[in-house]
Amino acid sequence: MVEIVPSILSANFARLAEEIACVERGGARIIHLDVMDGRFVSNLTIGPPVVESVRKCTKLHLDVHLMIEEPERYVTQFVKAGANSVSVHYEACRHLDGTLALIRQAGAMAGVVLNPATSVSVLEDVLGVVDYVLLMSVNPGFGGQKLIPYVLDKVRRLNMMRRAKNLALPIEIDGGVHRENLVEVVRAGCDWIVTGSGVFHSPDPEATVREMREIAASATDVRC
Ligand code: DX5
Ligand code: ZN
């Protein structure tokens, strides 16, 4: 099942509970939360207290994307705050295997994120111990950027890798996805499709999620 995953980065933070309720009515089952530290990326966003507050206002799966240095110092805190899945950047982890183990031990799904320029080939050996892979389709840090087209080739390659290894792990994509390029993204092989500005800057986020779910479902007939 392909999931449309709204990123609250583009939501109105003063009305977060209502914004989340709205996309939930549209059919969203996963909410994406972007954590930035001003070091791994230049932007700053939220920490565990916000995840904890969001946890109190929804039962949906909370997918936390850590764009921070030394994520091993914080992963357990984010799981305790209510994250169902936590992803860390390959580029930020000196001991990736150990950090993934920490996330799993804390009780959440463990994901690896790759920046656009990092090849999926670095995942060859670790793929068996990750629960999902997030491929960045923009340089991380800000919403509202354009999808980098070569990332769709990476999605296709990763799709072949997981098939060859008989793994069912979801492929997540993040950045520059909106209604107009959704079919192409789904056909490349993505399962969790993050969209921030495409949903929250649309005139009717609830209807946009509903419509994107329908488009995604009908595009799954023709998958790579
Ligand atoms: C960017 C974040 C994204 C962001 C995507 O670094 O990781 O999750 O919210 O925003 P859009 O969909 O607007 O590109
Ligand atoms: Zn993200």
- List the residue whose alpha carbon is closest to atom 4 of ligand 1: 143
Length of the chain: 224
- The pair of structure tokens assigned to 26 is 């549209």
Q: Is the overall model pTM greater than 0.85, yes or no?
A: yes
pLDDT at 221: 75
Site to probe by mutation for ligand 1, drawn from 5, 8, 10 as the one with most ligand atoms within 8 Å of Cβ, is 10
Which 3 state secondary structure label does DSSP give 37? Answer: strand
d(CA 116, CA 137): 6
- Nearby residues of 193 by Cβ (< 8 Å), 6 or more positions away: 2, 3, 4, 5, 172, 173, 177, 182, 185, 186, 212, 216
- Nearby residues of 218 by Cβ (< 8 Å), 6 or more positions away: none
pLDDT at 224: 60
Cβ of 198 less than 6 Å from ligand 1: yes
In a structure prediction context, what are the per-residue pLDDT tens digits for the chain, which is 224 residues long? Answer: 899 999 999 999 999 999 999 999 999 999 999 999 999 999 999 999 999 999 999 999 999 999 999 999 999 999 999 999 999 999 999 999 999 999 999 999 999 999 999 999 999 999 999 999 999 999 999 999 999 999 999 999 999 999 999 999 999 999 999 999 999 999 999 999 999 999 999 999 999 999 999 999 999 876 76
Instruction: Please answer whether residues 145 and 139 qualify as being in contact, where contact means their C-beta atoms are separated by less than 8 angstroms.
Output: yes
Task: Find where tokens 């530290």 sit.
Answer: 37
63 assigned to active site: no
Which residue among 37, 63, 174, 191 is the active-site one? 174
